[in-house]
Amino acid sequence: MAKFKKPRGIRHDRDCRRCKLKGIKCDLNRPRCQACLQGGAACYYPQRVVWMEEKSTRGSSLKSIPRSWKPQTTLDVVNTHRISSHYPAVNLYSFVDLLADFYQQIQSRSGSIPDDAIQLIFRTLSFARSRLHDANHDHSIQSHVVALTNLRKLIESADPIALFGIATFAIFEVCCGSFGNWHCHLQGAHSLLDLHCRNTADFYELCRGTPGLAEVLAYLVWFDATGALVRDSHLIFEDWHRDTLLPSFFDSVGCPPDTFQLFVYLVKQEESSISGSVDLSARAMDQILRLDSGESSDRGLAAIVYRCAGAIVAFSRAGSPVDHAATTVHANVISSMVDRVCEAIARIPTTSRFYVHLATPAYLTAKHACTATHYEVLRAYWQNCRRGDFPRYPDAQAQCERRWCSRVIS
- What pLDDT score was predicted for residue 54? 35
Measure the CA–CA gap between 343 and 335, rounded to whole angstroms.
12
- What pLDDT score was predicted for residue 410? 47
- What pLDDT score was predicted for residue 363? 98
Task: Please answer whether residues 71 and 252 qualify as being in contact, where contact means their C-beta atoms are separated by less than 8 angstroms.
Answer: no
Task: Please answer whether residues 368 and 330 qualify as being in contact, where contact means their C-beta atoms are separated by less than 8 angstroms.
Answer: no
Q: Which of these ranges, 62-71, 151-160, 286-295, 350-359, has the smallest mean pLDDT?
A: 62-71
Sequence-distant (≥ 6) Cβ neighbours of residue 302 within 8 angstroms: 253, 254, 255, 344, 348, 352, 354, 357, 358
Of residues 12 and 126, more confidence is placed in 126
HSE (side-chain half, CA atoms, 13 Å) at 17: 22
Q: Which of these ranges, 2-6, 33-37, 310-314, 325-329, has the smallest mean pLDDT?
A: 2-6
3-state DSSP assignment of residue 64? strand
The model's confidence at residue 7, banded by pLDDT at 50, 70 and 90, is very low
Q: Exposed e or buried b for every residue in 26-56, given b needs 16+ CB within 10 A?
A: beeeeebbebbeeeebbbbbbeebebeeeee
Of residues 127 and 222, more confidence is placed in 222
Q: Is the pLDDT of residue 366 over 60?
A: yes
Of residues 104 and 323, more confidence is placed in 104
Q: Is the pLDDT of residue 325 over 90?
A: no
Measure the CA–CA gap between 167 and 45, rounded to whole angstroms.
24
The model's confidence at residue 194, banded by pLDDT at 50, 70 and 90, is very high
3-state DSSP assignment of residue 145? helix
Domain boundaries, the chain: 84-243, 260-409
- Supply the pTM of this predicted model: 0.74
3-state DSSP assignment of residue 133? helix
Of residues 370 and 10, more confidence is placed in 370
Q: What is the DSSP string of 255-318?
A: --HHHHHHHHHHHH--S--HHHHHHHHHHHHHHHHT--TT--SHHHHHHHHHHHHHHHHHHHHH
3-state DSSP assignment of residue 406? helix
- What pLDDT score was predicted for residue 210? 84
| pLDDT tens string 30-87 | 767 888 777 766 676 664 433 333 333 333 333 332 333 333 332 222 233 333 444 4
Q: What is the DSSP string of 160-187?
A: TTHHHHHHHHHHHHHHHSSTT---HHHH
> For the chain, what percent of residues have pLDDT higher than 90?
41
Q: Which of these ranges, 80-84, 127-131, 137-141, has the smallest mean pLDDT?
A: 80-84
Q: Is the pLDDT of residue 398 over 90?
A: yes
Query: What residue type is assigned to position 314 of the chain?
Result: A
In 3D space, the residue among 311, 318, 300, 357 whose CA is nearest the CA of residue 338 turns out to be 311
Measure the CA–CA gap between 213 and 207, rounded to whole angstroms.
6
Measure the CA–CA gap between 287 and 307, rounded to whole angstroms.
5
**Radius of gyration of the chain from its Cα atoms, rounded to whole angstroms:** 23
Q: Is the pLDDT of residue 127 over 80?
A: yes
The model's confidence at residue 137, banded by pLDDT at 50, 70 and 90, is low
| pLDDT tens string 197-233 | 999 999 999 988 888 899 899 989 999 999 999 999 9
Burial of 139 by CB count in 10 Å (0-12 exposed, 13-18 middle, 19+ buried)?
Answer: middle
Task: Please answer whether residues 308 and 341 qualify as being in contact, where contact means their C-beta atoms are separated by less than 8 angstroms.
Answer: yes
Of residues 319 and 290, more confidence is placed in 290
Burial of 212 by CB count in 10 Å (0-12 exposed, 13-18 middle, 19+ buried)?
Answer: buried
- What pLDDT score was predicted for residue 104? 85
- What pLDDT score was predicted for residue 135? 58
Measure the CA–CA gap between 29 and 223, rounded to whole angstroms.
35
Q: Is the pLDDT of residue 170 over 70?
A: yes
Measure the CA–CA gap between 216 and 119, rounded to whole angstroms.
18
Mean pLDDT for 256-261 is 97
Measure the CA–CA gap between 281 and 291, rounded to whole angstroms.
16
Alpha helices in 43-114 (DSSP H): 92-108
Measure the CA–CA gap between 198 and 207, rounded to whole angstroms.
13
